[in-house]
Amino acid sequence: MEAILIQAFNGLSLGSILLLIALGLAITFGLMKVINMAHGELIMIGAYTTYVMQTIFTQYMPAGLFDLYFILAIPCAFIVAALVGMLLEYTVIRHLYGRPLDSLLATFGVGLILQQTARSIFGAPNVGIVSPSFLEGGMNVFGMTVPVTRIFIIGLVVVCLLILAFYLYKTNSGRRTRAVMQNREMASCVGISTRRVDITTFAIGAGIAGVAGAILTLIGPIGPAIGTYYIVDAFMVVVVGGVGMLVGTVVSAFGVGVMNTLFEYWTDASMGKVLIFVLIVLFLQWRPSGLFSLRTRSLD
């Protein structure tokens, strides 16, 4: 019984990480139809931003304030990644709206450049960070010990999700975003600046990737190539969830997370990975446009 509970928690925890890396993609891919292969590199930028914050704190701040670095790193990672995202949108992506497959190739190239840039700035080996002390140790939940880090990640994902949902559904600029994504011409006709919406939306998607990067430093490596570990998983989550629907991404992230953990528990990690991908392929045969999708009567 306890084993099942622990595995359920592990699944939830993996799901939250998947959701975090897929959320930014759900916006850029789901809402804007841009396949951003450089998403992984935006995650990397977030991770390195955290590393830089730590370095600044160890060098210039009193030791007592050290734990604060991580709290500050999260918004910083958002801002840095969002700025890079804006630059990317302005130089590359804006030429490619309506050409999703071309955007895939171009952003893959951007990803290569960003990776190599990171390698020349920070060196090829991984860099390390020290987790803030308030995230150390375990907590007792329903009689099992779970790492505080994992709880923190789940909490942060929920917060990100709430902020994003609030932005998209309750604020004016969020409504404009959805309007543009649903019908660009019509939105443009009623006076919405589609250019501005595009660039903001892309920046937000990139920023969330940055936050994901900051969080991932707690549980994984920080190096030039870390984006490549996450990018395919992130795409799978978005595609399974259904393009253009945040709720789909949420359901699919936790679904994939729990399934993956279970498969891994029943078999081993390699087979677990194979099974989950096979399952995704089969699932798409059954529902080609994912769990949830916008209904539309248009064909082409």
Partner 1 sequence: MKSVVANYMISRKWLLLALVILLILLPFVLSDFRVNLLGRYLAFAILVIGLDLLWGYMGVLSLGHGIFFGLGAYIMGIHLKMEASSGGLPDFMMWSGMTELPWFWTVLQHPVIAILAGIIVPMIIAVILGFFTFRNRIQDVYFTILTQALVMVTVTLLISRQDVTGGTNGLTGFSTIFGFSLSDPATQRVIYYVTLGCLVIILLICSRLINSLFGKALIAIRDGENRLRFSGYDTSMFKVLVFTISAGIAGLAGMLFVMQVGIISPTQIGIIPSIEMILWVAIGGRGTLIGPVIGAILTNSAKTFFSESYPDIWLYFLGAVFVIVVIFLPGGLMSLGKKLKRRNSNEKGQTNSKADYSAS
Partner 2 sequence: MKKGKKTEHTRLIAGFIGLVCFLLMLTACGDGGEAASDQAEAQMHPSETGEEVNIDESEQIPVGILHSLSGTMAMSETSVYEAEMLAIKEINEAGGVLGKELVPIVEDGASEPNIFSERAAKLLQQDEVDVIFGGWTSASRKAMLPVVEDNNGLLFYPVQYEGMEASPNIFYAGAAPNQQIVPAVDWLLENEGTEFFLLGSDYVFPRVANQIIKAQLEENGAALVDEQYTPLGHTDYNTVISRIRESEPEVIFNTLNGDSNVAFFKQLADAGITSDDVTVLSVSVAEEEIRGIGADVLAGHYASWNYYQTTDTPENEEFVAKYKEAYGDDRVTGDPIEAGYFMVHLWAQAVEAAGTTEVDAVREAAAIEFNAPGGPVVIDSDNQHVYKTVRIGEVGEDGQFTEVWNSDEPVKPDPFLEEYDWASDISGTLAGE
Among partner 1, partner 2, none, residue 130 binds (CB under 5-8 Å by kind): partner 2
Phi/psi for 274 (5° steps) reads -60, -45
DSSP string, 115-146: HHHHHHHH-SS-B--PPPGGG-SEEEETTEEE
Q: Which stretch binds partner 2 (CB under 8 A): 31-39, 100-108, 127-135, 234-242?
A: 127-135
- Binding residue for partner 1, selected from 61, 71, 95, 294, defined by CB under 8 A: 95
Q: Which of 158/269 has CB closer to partner 2?
A: 269
The answer to whether the beta carbons of residues 249 and 209 sit under 8 Å apart is no
Contact positions with partner 1 (CB under 8 A) in 237-276 = 239, 270-271, 273-274
User: Which of partner 2, partner 1, none has residue 250 at its interface (CB below 5 to 8 Å by kind)?
Assistant: none
Residues in binding contact with partner 2, number by CB under 8 A: 47
Indicate the residue among 54 and 261 with the shorter CB distance to partner 1: 261
Would you count residue 123 as binding partner 1 (CB under 8 A)? no
Please report whether residue 155 would count as binding partner 2 according to CB under 8 A. Answer: no
C-alpha to C-alpha distance for 249 and 16, rounded to whole angstroms: 11
If one asks whether residue 294 binds partner 1 (CB under 8 A), the answer comes out as no
For the bound state, the minimum distance from the C-beta of residue 263 to partner 2, rounded and expressed in Å, comes to 9
d(CA 9, CA 14): 9
Q: Which does 105 bind (CB under 5 to 8 A by kind): partner 2, partner 1, none?
A: partner 1
Taking CB under 8 A as the rule, does residue 121 contact partner 1?
no
| 270 bridge partner residues | none
Q: Of 150, 176, 210, 211, which lies in the binding site for partner 2, with binding defined by CB under 8 A?
A: 150
Q: Are 272 and 264 in contact (CB under 8 A)?
A: yes
Residue 194 found at the interface with partner 1 (CB under 8 A): no
Q: Using the minimum distance from each CB to partner 1, give the nearer residue, 95 or 195.
A: 95
Tokens of 290: 């994912």
Contacting residues for 90 by C-beta, under 8 A, at least 6 apart: 199
Asked whether position 235 contacts partner 1 by CB under 8 A, the answer is yes
137 binds, among partner 1, partner 2, none (CB under 5 to 8 A by kind): partner 2
Residues with Cβ < 8 Å from 18, sequence gap 6 or more?
233, 234, 237, 253, 254, 256, 257
| Residue 165 C-beta: closest distance to partner 2, Å | 26
Kindly list the residues in this chain that would bind partner 2 in the complex (CB under 8 A): 3, 6-7, 10, 13-14, 17, 116, 119, 123-131, 135-138, 145, 147-150, 218-226, 228-230, 261, 264-265, 268-270, 272-273
Kindly list the residues in this chain that would bind partner 1 in the complex (CB under 8 A): 33, 35, 37, 92, 95-96, 99-106, 108-113, 115-116, 120, 228, 232, 235-236, 239, 270-271, 273-274, 277-278, 280-281, 284-286, 288-289, 299-300
